[in-house]
Chain A
């Protein structure tokens, strides 16, 4: 997983590029890494362009990441969901929990829009 910070807006936004699979074998790794990322920024974007498979454990991990981000008064936004992953998010109603954007750039911009609001 690649993590980098974006400072193009007045907020520091973390962008994490997720790996190909998130399942029971590596979801704990994601949760651990997320706790570290939170120390840099509470506003994080998951770039899912490479993500091809996610199971219920992986979904649970992403939801838990969202909860942690909200607890830190930030947000977790998803970008570039592939059709298969999108279908799983739809099936599990997880789509209703997240703000989902077509690509990482628009997800970052969405934080900027919020920041611009009075």
Chain B
């Protein structure tokens, strides 16, 4: 048997709220894309090949499923026109359909099945036409039965209407609470109702309440409570003391600290209330935002830009530093002590001269204006121990934090509002996760400008 899966873009406009720019088949349900459920089901039903047909760009689906080697089934792809009827689509794919029994999954996103049931003999015995209990041409078979004997048992099989974020939410909740064992779901599953992915950091005081599904590359920071009935996608950060209960946090989402997400869907910077259908785009990145994934080349480029800014500043500040430092030192306005901090390089330390510069008189004001107290730190950017802008420095006798990226200037110095260390940590943590090339240049400029107004420098 072969399987044809047909989707049409127009049928799923609501999915664009949840995951904009994603093909409907790649939207995850309990951290497993819809297409994977179909592939699993097709294999259970005895398919040896699958063709995925869509009227929109299918490249993402293709790069996710490839040729199907991961599942041991041949997967191919085809495009259709939005106006194509099912017959027209079958006609266009007639070479795939010849001489075989075909299962057609048309215009539905999800099937309830049970991985432990026997679908192979059930499908082999069914006559051609729509499957009992399914709408016209949503799940149908062509070709004659492979097995003339009727299957003794009808395995569980049904579909669900998915035309709103609310129904998607209910389906995910139903799976998590009642049907987890019916499907193969991603993640380690040492105990019932708890699936945890790879590279998951759960800090000591964080609490996980079953049932829960947590994806890969997830950080759950101190004091957070995840669950019950929470689905956390891949590449997610749940900041300190936040609660996620009866909710779905989609991939690449940052949840700020002290938040309570209950009965909601959070996707990037969008918060959706499935009950009312209300969708709110957060403009405030400290609450909810999307996490952009940087690749190696971006990081390399970022390093080059940071080094270039450091060289530029060294060239500009060299002369003022050489002239002003000895004078201020002799006047007692310049005092320096050596402190050892965690370096940007893993498991490395960096000793930095920390200068206290008292702003009294024109020369010391000028020194503060030029941030001369940080002049020697600029060389550490060239050696890779510091970034030009990054997190607040943490001394070696304190524990380093997640996403620690020490900088000559800190993001908190660029922002006006942080009033204490805790505020600064929020800002630093946020930008450490969300920074990019342009943001870093702009923030360095702001930090330099803001330091002019400081009374003393430390």
> What is the interface of chain A, defined by CB distance below 8 A to chain B?
23-24, 53, 55-57, 83-84, 87-88, 90-93
Contacts and interface: CB of A to CB of B under 8 A. Distances in A.
B261 A87 contact: no
A90 B262 CA distance: 9
Nearest to A91: B259
Contacts of B286: 56
B367 interface: no
B258 A93 contact: yes
A83 B276 contact: yes
B273 A93 contact: no
A57 B256 CA distance: 14
Interface of B: 256, 258-262, 264, 271, 273, 276, 278, 280, 283-284, 286-288, 417
A55 B283 contact: yes
A84 B276 CA distance: 11
A92 B287 contact: yes
Given A56-B287, A87-B278, A93-B259, 16 more contacts: A23-B283, A56-B256, A56-B286, A57-B417, A83-B278, A84-B278, A84-B280, A87-B271, A87-B280, A88-B280, A88-B287, A91-B259, A91-B271, A92-B258, A92-B259, A92-B260
Nearest to A85: B280
Contacts of B280: 84, 87-88
Interface of B is mostly: loop
B236 to A, nearest CB: 16
Contacts of B273: 87
Nearest to A95: B260
A93 B260 CA distance: 6
Nearest to A21: B283
A108 to B, nearest CB: 28
Contacts of A88: 280, 287
B235 to A, nearest CB: 21
A24 B417 contact: yes
A56 B256 CA distance: 11
24 contacts: A23-B283, A23-B284, A24-B417, A53-B283, A55-B287, A56-B286, A56-B287, A57-B417, A83-B276, A84-B280, A87-B278, A87-B280, A88-B280, A90-B262, A91-B259, A91-B260, A91-B264, A91-B271, A91-B287, A92-B258, A92-B287, A93-B258, A93-B259, A93-B260
Nearest to B415: A24
Give the 8 A-B CB pairs with smallest separation, nearest first.
A55-B284, A93-B260, A84-B280, A56-B284, A87-B280, A56-B286, A83-B278, A91-B259
A84 to B, nearest CB: 5
A81 B259 CA distance: 19
A93 B225 CA distance: 14
Contacts of A90: 260, 262
A84 B259 CA distance: 16
